[in-house]
Amino acid sequence: MSRAVLSLGSNLGDRLEHLRLAARGLSEVLLASSSVYETAPWGVTDQPDFLNAVLLVESAADDEWDWLRRAQRLEQEAERRRERRWGPRTLDVDVVTVDEVYSREPELLLPHPGTPERATVLIPWLEIEPEATLPGHGAVSELLAALPEAETAGVRLRPDLALR
Ligand SMILES: Nc1ncnc2c1ncn2[C@@H]1O[C@H](COP(=O)(O)OP(=O)(O)OP(=O)(O)O)[C@@H](O)[C@H]1O
Ligand SMILES: Nc1nc2c(c(=O)[nH]1)N=C(CO)CN2
């Protein structure tokens, strides 16, 4: 059995539909899905706001590479084009963690290295798993508490939007 945390992001086209496409594609392995958040862009800041959400998924059959393949298949279904790093995209699906797996393979870094600094991942993750820990980094709630106010202020709940 393997359990993974996946983060979803979209800032091009029908953003909510892209996140829903991912949730639908994972429906048979989906344990929990967060609310949808509207978030100010980090990294490249001159681009439209994102919608972000986090999913908790579990399956007997999948290992960490299977989760990466599933993530990439969903990005292809949303016709994601690879353009500039951290630039606009129809759908980004990152594998945040898979159980306690630690990987330094460039094609699959686990836990995903950006996670401790990303309020756009930590806030929705905590919503669905309040006791979550990030392997090698400790409690997700403490990582979030350590972030500057400016990072968390850019993440706004959108109760009018739902993944399913
Ligand atoms: N944990 C992971 N989840 C998803 N992709 C990963 C992971 N670790 C490494 N990768 C690799 O990252 C590449 C995709 O990068 P992508 O273009 O999505 O990066 P990005 O979303 O712009 O930046 P970031 O990875 O910092 O969010 C893929 O080739 C994939 O193999
Ligand atoms: N708010 C926000 N900003 C981003 C995001 C994202 O998902 N949310 N993804 C990026 C590329 O991975 C770059 N910047």
Q: Give which of 88, 85, 151 is closest to 121, Cα–Cα.
A: 151
pLDDT classification of 159: cutoffs 50, 70, 90: very high
Q: Which atom of ligand 2 is nearest to the CA of 8?
A: 7
Residue nearest to atom 11 of ligand 1 (CA): 107
Domain range summary for the chain, segments of one domain joined by +: 2-157
Reported as a single tens digit per residue, the pLDDT across 35-50 is 999 999 999 999 999 9
Shortest-distance ligand to the CA of residue 7: 2
Q: What is the distance in A from the centroid of ligand 1 to the CA of 112?
A: 8
* Mutation probe of ligand 2 site: the residue of 120, 121, 125 with most atoms within 8 A of C-beta: 120
Q: Give which of 126, 124, 121 is closest to 139, Cα–Cα.
A: 126
Please give the ipTM for the structure prediction.
0.96
Contact 55, 23 (CB under 8 A): yes
The percentage of residues in the chain with a pLDDT greater than 70, rounded to a whole number, is 99
Q: Which atom of ligand 1 is nearest to the CA of 111?
A: 1
Count Cα neighbours of 13 within 13 Å in the Cβ-side half-sphere.
15
Burial status of residue 111 (CB atoms within 10 A of its CB: 0-12, 13-18, 19 or more): buried
Reported as a single tens digit per residue, the pLDDT across 5-23 is 999 999 999 999 999 999 9
Least confident of 83-92, 93-102, 128-137: 83-92
Q: Does 2-157 carry CATH code 3.30.70.560? A: yes
